[in-house]
Amino acid sequence: MRLVLKNIGSLLIAEQEPTSWVSGKEMSSVNALSDAWLVIENGKIACFGEGEVIPFTDDEVLDCEAGIVMPAFCDSHTHLVYAGSREQEYEDKIRGLSYEEIALRGGGILNSAKLLSNTSENELYEQSLPRAYEIIRSGTGAVEIKSGYGLNTRDELKMLRVIRRLAEETELTIRASFLGAHAVPANFKSDPDKYVRLVIEEMIPAVAEENLADFIDVFCDRGFFTVEQTDRILEAGLKHGMVPKIHANELDYSGGVQVGVKYQARSVDHLEFVGEEELIALKKSETMPTILPGASLFLGLSYAPARKMIEAGLPVALASDYNPGSSPSGNMELVMSLGIIQLKMLPFEVLNAVTRNGAYAMGLEETHGSLTPGKVANLIITEPISGFAFMPYAYGSSQINKVILNGKIQ
């Protein structure tokens, strides 16, 4: 059975051949067809074109009413499996405590770990599922989800099993990252290296045994994990078939970018602190620099120097960082607005950053991120807006009319 989309005002990132990413000057251009149609067959994009389409008699036809059709968002960095919430810390921040001060008092990630430890796997799934549906409604089709609120073998496995269940039960394409090295638990404070050994010797083999993670992640930053510890953890993850992806340079020039590049990380994420050395390291790599402007907004941090990166010829991906502590939102339309307002990116630069560059950051560039024949039919149909730029311009209100995932209207 085919689904034919007709009366498309503008079809964006429509390409016959897939490109793995776009960088530098190319980031501001997008292949667009006007007055277009697109055919979906067996959950995949079959073909598209301009002008009139003549459907077969048993085709299902959807009139897009002159809206824009574009790839669904590829959100390459989230922590959307978590227990409870942390609005108390939100208030503490308003009263003047920093993210690091809250963490030092046993709040922050350790607070979420305590809540998660008292939550059963089933209950964790029940709490996380509405967030999965929420991001689907907001136009996300592929998402990366991290563990990292377990901080012991039992609870890390619990999180990763919930992530797997979300992948089985929803239309989202999900990639999982093992982030045991998210914070040092309180009972290891006097000997953080002992915790690193636990991650390497017990957790990574257990995660690999159940084949629960595509990626290995480390929070390599001031007050969290050092470059040397990150080095060892990435090496152990790689030995077990997990590809590195790093939290780097959110709080300082941590060396996280360089260690990520050394291990050919798929992406290095956050990047509020990026100087010449980091730019040079990234230029020589195939690592996707990924910016999370929601975390900068929510924590009142400085913003990553996106313009400098793009002008240096680098690619940039944008992701939501959906998590209870630094960015409790998975709304990619808002992420695009922040990309423009705060990162000074152009509308088509943010569009590329939340679609194909995000897909690359998850290793999904061959199946997601553009409207290319053979790729998964994950797409967004907008209201009949004047042009793509209206979507991030009208921040805080959604311009999405319909979301189609795996060829099915959601």
Specify the residue, 201 or 252, whose C-beta has the smaller distance to ligand NIG. Answer: 252
Look at residues 309, 263, 317 and name the one whose alpha carbon lies nearest to residue 285: 263
Q: Would you give the distance in Å from CA 35 to the centre of its chain?
A: 31
Enumerate residues 391-410 that contact Fe ion by CB under 5 A. none
Find which of Fe ion, ligand NIG, none residue 219 binds, CB within 5 to 8 Å per kind. Answer: ligand NIG
Contact between 246 and ligand NIG (CB under 6 A)? no
Residues β-bridged to residue 140: 73
Contact between 321 and Fe ion (CB under 5 A)? yes
Contact between 75 and Fe ion (CB under 5 A)? no
CA distance 217 to 236: 11
CB 346 within 8 A of CB 355: no
Find which of Fe ion, ligand NIG, none residue 150 binds, CB within 5 to 8 Å per kind. Answer: none
- The minimum distance between CB 178 and ligand NIG, in angstroms, equals 14
One of 141, 325, 363, 392 touching ligand NIG (CB under 6 A): 325
Find which of ligand NIG, Fe ion, none residue 325 binds, CB within 5 to 8 Å per kind. Answer: ligand NIG
Site string for ligand NIG, 111-140 (x = CB under 6 A): -x----------------------------
Query: Among 49-57, 114-122, 256-264, 321-329, which window interacts with ligand NIG (CB under 6 A)?
Result: 321-329
Amino acid present at 116: L
Contact between 295 and ligand NIG (CB under 6 A)? yes
Amino acid present at 68: I
CA distance 5 to 345: 30
Find which of ligand NIG, Fe ion, none residue 295 binds, CB within 5 to 8 Å per kind. Answer: ligand NIG
Look at residues 177, 183, 181, 141 and name the one whose alpha carbon lies nearest to residue 160: 177
Contact between 250 and Fe ion (CB under 5 A)? no
Query: Among 51-59, 319-327, 355-363, 390-398, which window interacts with Fe ion (CB under 5 A)?
Result: 319-327
- The minimum distance between CB 221 and ligand NIG, in angstroms, equals 7
Residues β-bridged to residue 62: 5
Enumerate residues 369-408 that contact ligand NIG by CB under 6 A. none
Query: Among 5-13, 59-67, 316-324, 384-392, which window interacts with ligand NIG (CB under 6 A)?
Result: 316-324
CA distance 366 to 314: 20
Judging by DSSP bridges, how do beta strands 288-291 and 317-318 pair with one another? parallel
Sign, Cα dihedral of 26, 391, 141, 148: positive
Q: Where are the beta strands (DSSP E) in 51-132?
A: 60-63, 68-71, 73-78
Find which of Fe ion, ligand NIG, none residue 229 binds, CB within 5 to 8 Å per kind. Answer: none
- The minimum distance between CB 6 and ligand NIG, in angstroms, equals 41
- The minimum distance between CB 343 and ligand NIG, in angstroms, equals 17
CA–CA distance from 210 to each of 119, 237, 257 (Å)? 21, 14, 29
Specify the residue, 321 or 333, whose C-beta has the smaller distance to Fe ion. Answer: 321
- The minimum distance between CB 374 and ligand NIG, in angstroms, equals 33
Query: Among 159-167, 321-329, 383-391, 399-407, which window interacts with Fe ion (CB under 5 A)?
Result: 321-329
Q: Would you give the distance in Å from CA 378 to the centre of its chain?
A: 16
Q: Residue 220: helix, strand or coil by DSSP?
A: strand
Contact between 219 and ligand NIG (CB under 6 A)? yes
Q: What's the chain's length in residues?
A: 410
Look at residues 172, 163, 166 and name the one whose alpha carbon lies nearest to residue 217: 163
Sign, Cα dihedral of 335, 339, 342, 343: positive
Contact between 326 and ligand NIG (CB under 6 A)? yes
Contact between 321 and ligand NIG (CB under 6 A)? yes
